[in-house]
Amino acid sequence: MSRVFVLDQQRRPLMPCTPARARLLLKQNKAAVFRGFPFTLILREAHPKAVVQPLRVKIDPGSRTSGLAVVNDTTGEVVWAAELIHRGEQVHQALTKRREVRRERRSRHTRYRQPRWRNRRRPTGWLPPSLESRIQNVETWVARLSRWCPLGAISYEAARFDTQALQNPEIEGTEYQHGALAGYELKEYLLLKWGHKCAYCKRTGIPLQVEHIVPKMRGGSHRVGNLTLACEKCNQKKGNQTAHEFGFPHIQAQAQAPLKDAAAANNTRWALYERLKRTGLPIETSTGGRTKWNRKRRGVPKTHWLDAANVGPSTPELLRWQHVRPWLIRAMGQQNRQMCRMDKRGFPRTKAKKKSTKHDFQTGDIVRAVVPAHLKNSGVHVGRMAAKASGGFTIATKKGTVTDISYRYCTRLQRNDGYGYLIAIKEECDSLPLP
């Protein structure tokens, strides 16, 4: 299991403890539960002699899922980990829908309204809302973690590959001289450039090899402009021919063109980097190539949270991660800005937005419902609840969704904080795909 966060009486973070110790602290009444999701304790007595070692939060940003890991650099232990699931796609869809409704409304000739084109200016640093939501998710979680555990540094995967390592083969540093790390950076570059598929048969989801367009034996260089990706079959079939002779003249032209959108692909990452700087913690930046290299060398399987644990040159040589079961944290959004629902013609269909609390519960609260034996859905249900207009609550539990639960049987464990929580099932962690 991940460790449990511990706060002192003044809510200052102490070293996270093991679940066994947390149980003992609770049993002896030395601590109380501060928060259930993620599990955090607060001590009842002062601990002036408590020793605090700074921990490192490591971030692997992704478009759908970002990995987060808190690592103790001295012991090499992964203290806590999570996969943060973004809602960029939902944000995009909601805005598209809003745009359609507004456009439709404008095109109806109801009354004259002066056109108001180009009267708005985007503030500097503006990003599309779908990207902004991803950035804010990570920002929120780094801020939260810094309140619950003693963070001393950030490791951040700021780019997919190191442009320096590609352009300058004589780069300093032992890892680069041995060539292994530079190889990983190169592979990441080629994967992005050739769209993660075989350049010849266009198949995806298969192992790809770095392939020389003009073969080495015929004077082809090792430069990026002469390299592409091919599956084993195509690579062997091509043999000692050039791409032109093999029947793919356009590949030679495509390889010569540098990857133009490499910078664009990294834009969101750098925007997030700027935000992380505001935390005041020292940030170590790294690349995806380095993450993969670290991961393979330590024999760690590929998941988002384990990728996060392997970000950066500071990764401990012996990384202890086997005991961790990561939290799966899903961004749910807070509220709906729309005042009422529209029909397909953009005409108001429902009454104005109502108060969002029902019997002192709000959609998104995590509740524990104890339903008596003689009723439908009897038993204990713990999960995120949604208030329905009919009055009954719907609770999303680990086993599935239960409906029509009366508020009378519910107690709130935690107020809505915009996220849904699950701990990864142990079997899922055990059957991780090995590298």
The site for Zn ion (CB under 5 A) is made up of 198, 200-201, 231, 234
Is the CB of 24 or the CB of 201 nearer to Zn ion? Answer: 201
Beta carbon nearer to Zn ion, 201 or 253: 201
Report the residue number, 95 or 201, with the smaller CB distance to Zn ion: 201
CB of 197 to Zn ion, least distance (A): 8
Nearest distance from C-beta of residue 223 to Zn ion, angstroms: 22
Q: Closest CB to Zn ion among 242 and 315?
A: 242
Please, which residue, 207 or 280, has the CB nearer to Zn ion? Answer: 207
Max distance between CA atoms of the chain, in angstroms, equals: 82
Phi, psi of 213 (to 5 degrees): -70, -50
> 């350049």: which residue's tokens?
199
CA 421 centroid distance within chain: 14
* Whole-number Cα distances in Å, 201 to 214, 236, 245, 356: 18, 13, 15, 54
Distance of CA 233 to the CA centre of its chain: 35
CB of 200 to Zn ion, least distance (A): 5
For residue 160, give the nearest of 285, 31, 74 by alpha carbon: 285
DSSP sequence for 35-50: ETTTTEEEESS--TT-
> Please, which residue, 181 or 234, has the CB nearer to Zn ion?
234
Query: Closest separation between CB of residue 191 and Zn ion, Å?
Result: 14
Comparison of 151 and 190: residue with beta carbon closer to Zn ion:
190
DSSP element (H, E) containing 212? strand 209-212
Q: How far is the CB of 203 from Zn ion (least distance, A)?
A: 5
Task: Using only the alpha carbons of the chain, give its radius of gyration.
Answer: 26
Contacting residues for 314 by C-beta, under 8 A, at least 6 apart: 56, 73, 153, 155, 284
Q: Read off φ and ψ for residue 423, nearest 5 degrees.
A: -100, 135
Six token digits for residue 225: 């402009």
Work out the angle between the directed axes of helices 129-148 and 88-107 (0-180°, nearest 10): 140
Give me the least distance between CB of 193 and Zn ion, in Å please.
Answer: 16
In the bound complex, what is the minimum distance in angstroms from residue 433's beta carbon to Zn ion?
A: 22
Q: What are the beta bridge partners of residue 414? A: 366
Report, in Å, the least distance between residue 247 CB and Zn ion: 13
Q: Which is nearer to Zn ion, 46 or 201 (CB)?
A: 201
Amino acid at 390: S
